[in-house]
Structure 1
Amino acid sequence: MNKILLLTTLLLFSIFELQSQSLMVLNAEDKSDVSNGTLIRIGSYDESTIEVGAYVKNTSGATINVWVKKYTNEIVSGSEAYFCWDGCYGSSTNSSTNYLSVAAGDTIKAFSGDFKPNGLSGISNIKYTFYIDHQTTDSVSVNIQYNISVTGINDIKDQYQISSAYPNPATSVVYFNYTISGNTDGKIIIYDIVGKKVKELITDKNSTQARADISQLNPGLYLWTFEVNGISVKTEKLLIK
């Protein structure tokens, strides 16, 4: 039973992160550029395996040989992280033993960063770096964050309803209509395009509408998410003019 809610947002590692001149990482879901950013997957502790796909694009003018290295930045003890590239490796393997050749301008769809919660909850961050023939100076990375809850999304789906944000596009104020059960905690969070939280609203059980003042936010694309009991259950785009 699939209980995974996809939440994809781009978070910059650092302004000092080295940018690849030859490689780009794309989100397999929507083909957006997530180079040196973060893909977030929200799932349930009872999932067997959570698979996160990413595409690697050769932006250079020549064929290149691409390798993969895994960095376990943070992991819930007892869970497992592993990846597939030229083949699928065990959780104890951190580097691919072979490369994949990518022609100039081509995109390869072989990568998968997989995670086994093993019945455990918590947040794990695994970074994967793609590099050319051991040339670490020409590389690109993507961090995959696995946010595993002890409660599945299907377990709380009857406890809430929420509309899309309106108006959208918006200029100064945006509204959300919702219903939420008396024993459920909910909040609406708005993020900018680099993943910084810019607004948070706590839902009122005695109300059915939330109002967000966005007049101080810069024009551009944002993401908003609705959390119920700490689980992100809905995420959509918001355009501010």
Structure 2
Amino acid sequence: MFWDIRSQIPAVIGLPQPDFLCNFAHSDRIRLGYSLCPSELTNHMMKSLLSLLLTGLLALPALQAQQGLKFAFPSDGIIDVLPDGQDGTNEYKVLMRIANTSDSEIQATAFREENLAAGHQTYFCWDLCYDTTKDASDGPVTIAAGDTTAFAQYVVFLPNSVDGYSELKMIVADIATGDTIQRTYQFSVGGVLSKEDELWRQASLSVPYPNPAGAEASIDYNLPSPMPDARLRVYNLIGKMVHETPLKGNQGTVTLQTSKFQAGMYFLYLTADGRELTSRKLIVR
């Protein structure tokens, strides 16, 4: 977002805009403009101008600091919920966690957009759980400043024993500002994948060993090709990322120092190309 003060300066210091400008330049965040013609300015005018520019510059950190909603879990944009080859008869529930990174509370609402194969169904929970025909939550929930939601938030996929590929997009909106965040969930039953997914069907993580883990655990990974942004990410049960390791090459082994983790269950995600490709569970004693 740019803030253009060229139209504001003439009115403040009492000069007509066409005769006032000599030239202007752009910065990355604020269009300050104006290298002013000395012959056109009195000392009073210059002080007024400098005061206005200083006010804008002082306001910039606050503008840049404005934040709002973000997905605490899942953290990436596309999530493979049901990888190829898994059983399609069960109900699959996927956790959502939304964080408020601003310094004031936010009233947030949720809604979905579906692109489902015939026979597939979904529903979602946003404090309340809605039936498969409901696309929007009945009302907003309050997320306190700096807080992460702890109420019921799920995406639920019902394959109903039908092969096919489906997508569900969940959108969360700040009702005061209209700002939105979204995540896309992909569901594949019976080996039916999107064309984009065909490239990534070879991506895999081994079962962590040992599991349960004591002091450390190792995981083997495999990618169809090396990716500079490939990561192994570890999340705890409340959706907080507790560890991240860059992955080098298209295959290898990562050893986690699990002695630094608290005892409990963790979720390991192989991410690349802005997507969570596959996952495993790890128990730490």
TM value normalised by structure 2: 0.45
Confirm or deny: 8 A CA contact 2:88 2:190 kept in the other structure: no
Aligned to 2:140: 99
- Determine if the alignment matches structure 1 residue 75 to structure 2 residue 110: no
What amino acid maps onto 1:108 in structure 2?
Answer: T
What amino acid maps onto 1:62 in structure 2?
Answer: S
Q: Which runs of 5+ in 1 are unaligned?
A: 1-19, 152-161, 165-176, 178-186, 196-219, 226-233
What amino acid maps onto 2:224 in structure 1?
Answer: I
3-state SS of 2:132 partner: coil
Confirm or deny: 8 A CA contact 2:69 2:101 kept in the other structure: yes
- Determine if the alignment matches structure 1 residue 57 to structure 2 residue 99: yes
Residue 86 and residue 117 in structure 1: after superposition, are their counterparts in 2 closer, same or farther (change >3 A)?
Answer: same
What amino acid maps onto 1:189 in structure 2?
Answer: P
Greater share of residues in strand: 1
3-state SS of 1:147 partner: strand
Residue 194 and residue 148 in structure 1: after superposition, are their counterparts in 2 closer, same or farther (change >3 A)?
Answer: farther
TM value normalised by structure 1: 0.52
Residues 179-198 of structure 1 aligned to structure 2 (within 5 Å): 189-190=224-225, 192=227
- Percentage identity across paired residues of the two chains: 22
Rounded to whole Å, the distance in 2 between the matches of 1:65 and 1:163 is 41
Confirm or deny: 8 A CA contact 2:108 2:175 kept in the other structure: yes
Confirm or deny: 8 A CA contact 1:125 1:146 kept in the other structure: yes
Rounded to whole Å, the distance in 2 between the matches of 1:146 and 1:194 is 24
Q: Which runs of 5+ in 2 are unaligned?
A: 1-65, 193-204, 208-219, 231-245, 252-267, 273-285
Rounded to whole Å, the distance in 1 between the matches of 2:129 and 2:186 is 20
Aligned to 1:133: 175
Aligned to 1:42: 82
3-state SS of 1:107 partner: coil
What amino acid maps onto 2:129 in structure 1?
Answer: C
Residue 236 and residue 127 in structure 1: after superposition, are their counterparts in 2 closer, same or farther (change >3 A)?
Answer: closer
Confirm or deny: 8 A CA contact 1:86 1:99 kept in the other structure: no
Aligned to 1:112: 154
What amino acid maps onto 2:93 in structure 1?
Answer: E
Give the count of matched residue pairs: 152
**Greater radius of gyration (CA):** 2
Aligned to 1:142: 183
Q: Which runs of 4+ in 1 moved over 4 A?
A: 222-225, 234-238
Deviation (angstroms), 1:62: 0.3
Deviation (angstroms), 1:98: 1.7
Confirm or deny: 8 A CA contact 1:69 1:128 kept in the other structure: yes
What amino acid maps onto 1:96 in structure 2?
Answer: S
Rounded to whole Å, the distance in 1 between the matches of 2:72 and 2:113 is 19
Aligned to 2:163: 121
Residues 170-209 of structure 1 aligned to structure 2 (within 5 Å): 189-190=224-225, 192=227
- Cα RMSD of the aligned pairs, angstroms, is 3.9
Rounded to whole Å, the distance in 2 between the matches of 1:90 and 1:223 is 44
Rounded to whole Å, the distance in 2 between the matches of 1:194 and 1:40 is 18
What amino acid maps onto 1:149 in structure 2?
Answer: G
